[in-house]
Amino acid sequence: MGKPDVYESDYLENAEIFADLINGVLYQGEQVVKPQALKEQDGELRSIQSGGVKKTVRDKVRLWNGNTILAIFALENQTKVDYHMVLRAMLAESMAYEKQWKKRKKELEQENGSVTADEFISGMRKEEKFTPVITVVVYYGREKPWDGAKTLYDLLDVEGNEEKILPFISNYRLNVFDYHEYDDFSQFHSELQSFFEFLRYSGDKEKLKEKLRENRENYGSLSAEAKALLVHLTNIKEIPNVGDNELEKGEFDMCKAFEDMKEEGRTEGKIEGKIEGKIEGKIEGRAEEIVEMGYEFGIPENEIMERLQNKLDISVEEAEKYLSMFKRRAV
């Protein structure tokens, strides 16, 4: 059984793909973030709380050195709509800022220079600033468009009292990329354009045939990782050779949809061999995060079980194992 987040995260190992995704989603295709200016970062965050150590694992994190600015980009991959994603992202970003502050605090304690009483209590100097943390959620779900909250305001029960309440609450905006909202993907300059186009029209035989015919060269040069991920996401077992006579004649069988992509070194086997070595630790880390957050927000155990199964694409038995494993740490 496939492990969704691991496939997506593996694809985003490529710095050019990562940069193009950020540029396409946040900067409408403007080439602001350069691949060579990105540095891999550890996605695990920990915070000591009254109930113990709180841990969360982000799917893919990179530090961007943009000459005049530093920023941390964190990508979260979703194949299902997570209705509390706003809270998840807020918490993860808060933990990322706390991580920066703890580093500054430790450095300050080791300094021999003068420190004011306020700076000592604060654990940082007055003039110090933190590196911005930006979360981008990439939604790959095929069943429906993203229908979850995109801001903190969306989650608040203030109907009829907005003017009295909202001005005093800091809003949080979630950056969500949902390919369902687009008919054109020209904001991307890499193979992501063909990747999301295929995903967008994979359920429409005639439209997909049209796109394959129009962009034959681009589809033919998709990377092995992109092809494997498309096979995984669409459940199409075979992909057409976009240069063969059948396509030229207009004959196209969706049941044959990804064969040549798989034949290139038996893509799925090669990619899965690379991926499987990462899966267990990755899945266990995400399971721990889901269980801990479930108890923290008072979610019933049956709903935590459902979340484990849906988010990690695991069986009931595996979900029960993880719930039992991490329950003791969470309560």
pLDDT tens digits for range 8-67: 777 888 999 999 999 999 999 999 999 999 998 877 776 666 566 566 778 889 999 987
Predicted confidence at residue 55, as pLDDT, reads 67
Judge whether 74 and 133 are in contact, CB under 8 Å: yes
Predicted confidence at residue 329, as pLDDT, reads 61
Query: Per residue in 80-119, is it b (16+ CB within 10 Å) or e — as a string?
Result: bbbebbbbbbebbbebbeebbeeebeeebeeeeeeeeeee
Predicted confidence at residue 101, as pLDDT, reads 95
Average pLDDT per run of 10 along the chain, which is 331 residues long? Answer: 59 92 96 94 70 71 90 93 95 93 91 87 94 96 95 94 92 97 95 93 84 80 85 69 48 44 46 51 77 79 84 84 79 54
Q: Is the pTM of this model over 0.75?
A: no
Predicted confidence at residue 157, as pLDDT, reads 93
Predicted confidence at residue 305, as pLDDT, reads 87
To the nearest 5 percent, what fractions of the chain are helix, strand and coil?
55, 15, 35
Alpha helical stretches, state H, the chain: 4-11, 15-26, 85-110, 117-122, 162-165, 192-201, 205-214, 216-220, 224-234, 245-249, 259-263, 267-296, 301-312, 316-330
Predicted confidence at residue 112, as pLDDT, reads 75
CA distances from 23 to 17, 18, 143 (A): 10, 9, 26
For 181, the token pair is 């909202």
**Rounded to 5 degrees, what are φ and ψ at 298?**
70, 30
